[in-house]
Chain A
Amino acid sequence: MSSSEAYVSFQGVQKSYDGETLVVKDLNLDTQRGEFLTMLGPSGSGKSTCLMMLAGFETVTHGEIILDGTSINNVPPHKRNIGMVFQNYALFPHMTVNENLAFPLQVRKMSKSDIEDRVKNVLDMVQLGSFGSRRPMQLSGGQQQRVAVARSLVCDPKAFMMDEPLGALDKQLREQMQYEKKISIRCWCNNSLCDSRSK
């Protein structure tokens, strides 16, 4: 697989937080447009670090990350257009679900009616269409996670990443998201797509 056809490409990527130990050693990984990639490994093996580097919240110590033909090492996170659900997904507690979803679009100065359409679409996609006016506290853990998924998709990202298990999303919903055409790659950490035991 040549890197020219890869959509996301890690090329010789290393990461050290303390300048001494490498927590990501020499990562070479090419993913295709539309590919569904899962990262699986024991706690502390470097999965989240890879996602954080791709999303731009951690710097790359050595090597290069290419997104859609362009090196993104020096592109700030908000200009990468990557949707990410964090391991501890944080929703704004004082806002309703609708307001949480509208927020990233308001920041991008989208028109009010477009915002309403988009919010409704993503909320329907995670099957929470009727929960728009609730606050996060009034939702179950799994429902909160689905709102976090919706929020990371609302800006129509080039790539979508989700850290940690999708336990809250049932298989059907997972598959539906997988085939949603707009989304390009997904990284699932530690999920149970295959029967795994960590020792």
Chain B
Amino acid sequence: MSNRIAVFNDGVIQQLAAPDTLYEAPENAFVAQFIGENNTLYGKVIGLDGDICTVEAENGDKLKALGVNIQGVGFDTMISLRPERVEVNPESGQCSSTVTGKVEELIYLGDHIRSRMNVCGQDDFIVKIPNSANHAQLSPGDTVKVGWKAEDARALDVLVS
């Protein structure tokens, strides 16, 4: 038996898919923001190589992302990235984008630690740090490296709000 969700906005179905597809592969910024929690990074597309684009964030950081719903080089985009797909202090070669993050706030939630960071000039960037053995020990004010795989960062349309 199939099980699908139609995500509505403004009288239009934005995406019709199975729950896991909606969560893993939102096709536009509305769905990315409506289904679950997502980090949003704003920038401009400055390069495109196959499916992968390079985006210059507002603070000048250069990020790799999967070009899902972009207009092309020179256009604004919104990168959508799940908090659980961000690595703290990744080993070299593990991530296609690595930038500096400043820890603003830590919330202990038992199975994971929710960390709010300043990344690419935005201070609402959430990272979920699993409470596994040898997990990163952070304190507010620390500066760390955060990284992710290009496929996990989805370059989408910019929501006009």
Chain A residues within 8 Å of B, Cβ to Cβ: 15, 22-29, 31-32, 34-42, 45-47, 178-179, 193-199
Contact = CB atoms under 8 A, between A and B. Distances in A.
Contacts of A179: 1
Nearest to B8: A41
Contacts of B36: 194-197
Contacts of B23: 194-195
Contacts of B34: 40-42, 196-199
B22 to A, nearest CB: 7
B: contact size bracket: 20 to 34
Nearest to A44: B10
Contacts of B4: 31, 35-38
B109 to A, nearest CB: 15
B140 interface: no
Contacts of A199: 33-34
A148 B16 CA distance: 28
B101 to A, nearest CB: 23
Contact of B19 (A28, A35, A194): A194
Contacts of B99: none
Contacts of A25: 10-12
A46 B10 CA distance: 7
